[in-house]
Amino acid sequence: MKTNLFILKFLLMTFLMLNVVSCESKKSDNPLLDTQWNGLAKSPQETEIILKFSKDKFDVLQGEKIIETMNYTLNNGDINIEKKSGGTPCNVGTKGKYNYEIIGENLVMTPVSDDCADRIKSFQGIVYKKIEIKK
């Protein structure tokens, strides 16, 4: 009886530990999830914007106003983006691919390819600073 109880406790603890590890690895799969970044975009003059990331999209805000929304996926240090809506010169559906790197509290995106030249000008060479989100 003690052996069965021991095995049951062992299996329960193992299950709980695997569940915790699984949850933690899912968080780290997307380092941009639920983050916000502030930077000066060049569109055509420098304009302060915020990139606000959620699970599979990010909004580009100017002040409190969303000026563009894009879907994104991450893959081996690349961020693939597709415009969903907004008033910038890029057409809806326009895709781009950027290398992204988080260095401390900074986000840098370097263009790999993009069907919208204006977006390249807007993102290239900008260091975005992480904004702490108050909960």
Q: What 8-state DSSP symbol labels residue 87?
A: S
- Give Cα separations from 102 to 7, 18, 37, 106 (angstroms): 44, 28, 11, 6
Same-domain check for residues 50 and 10: no
Same-domain check for residues 95 and 52: yes
Q: 49-74 burial string, b = 16+ CB within 10 Å, else e?
A: bbbbbeeeebbbbeeeeebbebebee
What is the extent of the structural domain holding 59? 36-131
At residue 125, the pLDDT reads 84
Same-domain check for residues 60 and 103: yes
At residue 122, the pLDDT reads 80
Same-domain check for residues 105 and 43: yes
Q: How many angstroms separate the CA atoms of 69 and 37, rounded?
A: 15
Residues 100 and 83: beta-carbon distance below 8 Å: no
Same-domain check for residues 104 and 127: yes
Same-domain check for residues 23 and 44: no
Same-domain check for residues 1 and 60: no
Same-domain check for residues 13 and 57: no
Same-domain check for residues 24 and 86: no
Segment 77-81 mean pLDDT: 97
Tell me the per-residue pLDDT of 4-58, one tens digit each, with 9 for 90 and over.
Answer: 555 544 444 545 455 544 444 445 699 999 999 999 988 778 889 999 999 999 9
* Number of folded domains that form the chain: 2
CATH code, domain carrying 75: 2.40.128
Q: Which of 36-45, 71-80, 106-115 has the lowest mean pLDDT?
A: 36-45
Q: Are strands 106-114 and 46-53 parallel, antiparallel or unpaired?
A: unpaired
- Say what the pTM is: 0.77
Same-domain check for residues 41 and 21: no
